[in-house]
């Protein structure tokens, strides 16, 4: 009862990408990328910086148009699903001139906006800071407000663009637990972009590696939740993905060596 404000049944939307391209000038950042994400799945995308993982997320959010290929969210073009898709950015991007509660209800036009905003804040444990200015919050608290702001719109696809990158290790682990618990409860589809393989393995059903605009590794993570960082199976998967990322970058640099010399 308490949380029926957010989740309609079977909330998650599937994502289907076919031959997705994105060019910046003559450079192809995404080069014919194919991907299917089942409704309600938690997918993490890892890769070195500049591999196109953030661009992929921005296309899913409708922040940028694709240069070619198909992009369907819940069976419809992404542009038609904008209201069902919410994004958490690397920085919290709270409006400094609005209180925490006003930030959370941004863009919410319903008469019960205030009540929903407070519910969402209760969800992330910050209801007692509802009337504070963002400037007095810590980095972790700001990202929790940003999460509440995304949740209040009842998203069916939540995109997370390295939202924990700037947080300290302890706050990150707290945020992992929080994100995992709201995802389990509300069953939206989640796509997390991160450079931290351990974070990807801790949270995702599936870890994807993006290299040179394509998906080159698709690793299912079958561990039971909640996952402990210490377990052997966890370390095994983390090690496998990590060595794959590093091997590829070693290859790339050895390929580039002669070119530099020539």
Partner 1 sequence: MATPTRHLRGLAPWIVPLLILLAWEASSRSGWLSSRILPEPLAVGAAFWGLLVSGSLLHDVAISTGRALGGLAIGGGLGLVLGLLTGTFRTAETLLDTTLQMIRNVPALALIPLVILWFGIDESAKLFLVAIGVFFPIYLNTYHGIRAVDAGLVEMARSYGLQGWPLYREVILPGALPSILVGLRFSLGLMWVLLIVAETISAQSGIGYMTMNAREFLQTDVVLVGVLLYALLGKLADFVARELERRFLRWNPTYLGVTA
Applying CB under 8 A, the residues found at the interface with partner 1 are: 61-63, 82-83, 86-87, 89, 91, 93, 95-98, 106-107, 133-136, 149, 153
Distance of CA 118 to the CA centre of its chain: 23
Which C-beta is closer to partner 1: that of 97 or that of 236? 97
Please state the closest distance from residue 97 (CB atom) to partner 1, in A.
4
Give the pair of three-digit tokens for residue 110: 């319903």
Nearer residue to partner 1 within complex by CB, 11 or 85: 85
Q: Which is nearer to partner 1, 191 or 197 (CB)?
A: 191
CB of 49 closer than 8 Å to CB of 195? yes
Is residue 88 helix, strand or coil?
strand
- Cβ 89 to partner 1 shortest distance, Å: 6
Nearer to partner 1, 100 or 179 (CB): 100
- 250's CB contacts (< 8 A; 6+ apart) are none
CB of 259: closest distance to partner 1 in angstroms? 36
Nearer to partner 1, 153 or 172 (CB): 153
Q: Which residue has the tokens 């702001």?
A: 149
- Of 91 and 212, which has the nearer Cβ to partner 1? 91
Element (H, E) at 42: strand 42-46
Question: Least distance in Å: CB of 100 to partner 1?
Answer: 11
Closest distance to partner 1 from the beta carbon of 159 (Å): 9
Min CB(209)–partner 1 separation in Å: 26
Three-state SS at 205:
coil
Asked whether the bond before 226 is cis by omega within 30 degrees of 0, the reply is yes
**Residue in the block written with tokens 């993905």:** 241
- Residue 14 near residue 37, CB atoms below 8 Å: yes
Number of H helices and number of E strands within the chain? 7, 10
**In this complex, which beta carbon is closest to partner 1, that of residue 142 or of residue 244?**
142
| Closest approach of partner 1 to the CB of residue 229, in Å | 31
Cα of 60 vs its chain's centroid, Å = 11
Q: Angle at CA 123, nearest 5°, toward 118 and 128?
A: 55
């Amino acid at each position: 009862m308490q949380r029926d404000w957010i989740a309609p049944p079977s909330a998650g939307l599937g994502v289907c990408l076919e031959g997705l391209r994105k060019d910046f000038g003559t450079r192809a950042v995404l080069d014919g990328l194919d991907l299917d994400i089942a409704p309600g799945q938690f997918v993490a995308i890892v890769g070195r910086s500049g591999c196109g993982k953030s661009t992929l997320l921005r296309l899913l959010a409708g922040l940028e148009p694709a240069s070619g290929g198909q992009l369907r969210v819940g069976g419809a073009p992404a542009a038609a699903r904008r209201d069902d898709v919410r994004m958490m950015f690397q920085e919290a991007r709270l409006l400094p001139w609005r209180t925490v509660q006003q930030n959370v209800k941004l863009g919410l036009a319903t008469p019960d906006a205030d009540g929903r905003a407070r519910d969402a804040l209760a969800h992330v444990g910050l209801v007692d800071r509802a009337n504070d200015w963002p400037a007095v919050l810590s980095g972790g608290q700001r990202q929790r407000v940003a999460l509440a702001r995304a949740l209040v719109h009842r998203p069916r696809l939540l995109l997370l663009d390295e939202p924990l990158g700037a947080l300290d290790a302890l706050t990150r682990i707290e945020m992992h637990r929080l994100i995992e618990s709201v995802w389990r409860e509300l069953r939206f589809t989640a796509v997390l972009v991160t450079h931290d393989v351990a974070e990807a393995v801790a949270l995702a059903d599936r870890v994807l590696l993006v290299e040179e605009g394509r998906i080159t590794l698709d690793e299912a993570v079958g561990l039971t939740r909640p996952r402990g960082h210490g377990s052997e199976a966890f370390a095994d998967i983390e090690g496998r993905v990590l060595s794959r990322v590093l091997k590829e970058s070693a290859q790339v640099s050895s390929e580039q060596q002669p070119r530099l010399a020539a």
